[in-house]
Amino acid sequence: MKEFKIIFAGSMGAGKTTAIQALSDEAVVSTDVANSDKNANSKLFTTVGIDYGQIFLPPDVKIGLYGTPGQERFELVWRIVTEGALGVIVLIDASAAKSAQELPYYVEYFHNRNMDHIVVGITHADEIGNDDHLTLDRAFELLTERELNFPIFEVDAREKEDIMLLVETLITSIEADLI
């Protein structure tokens, strides 16, 4: 069996753990603990280590799904888990006040560490109630300004089909480079 690794990274509360839970074929190993940083995000739990799930693709491929913590203070975890990864799925919470800063930050972070295969998922777009949120058009602008050309989708982290679209897009971009 061939084994590969995909990283789920991005802002706190964007749905990384939820996405892995929605997609994984096995029980997910989660490192969520009670959130002690309510100023950064009001969610009850947050990831402090690495979440892990896996999917199996025919005929004989196993993909490990590694979720990273969203807070910058866990950057060491990001560096460690990136080793040997095929690519990164960056999830950004569109309803968060800092989403326009977080999107380029996370994409540049991983791109600058030789992760050439990145796909972006904009989450929580359905929870937006003001004009200050991150839209899909604005996300494209932010990355284009920095000459970062990666696929971007609006997704619901709870929906397996949405997250599978991100994984399939990532795999397709990797295969396209092999041709």
The pLDDT of residue 32 is 53
Which among 117, 1, 7 has a CA at the least distance from the CA of 56? 1
Residue 51's domain comprises 2-178
Residue length, the chain? 179
Give the residues across from 3 on adjacent strands: 62
- 161/47 Cα distance (integer angstroms): 23
Question: What pLDDT, on the 0 to 100 scale, is given for residue 41?
Answer: 47
Confidence (pLDDT) at 46: 52
pTM, two decimal places: 0.87
Burial 59-89, CB ≥16 within 10 A → b, else e: eeeebbbbbbbbbeebeebbeebbeebbbbb
Stretches where the chain sits below pLDDT 50 are 35-36, 38, 41, 43
pLDDT value for 43? 45
pLDDT of residue 156: 96
Q: Residue 112 corresponds to which tokens in the numbers above? A: 């600058």
- Domain CATH number, residue 21: 3.40.50.300
Can you tell me the distance from the alpha carbon of 3 to that of 37, in angstroms, rounded to the nearest whole number?
A: 36
pLDDT for residue 16: 93
What's the number of domains the chain is made of? 1
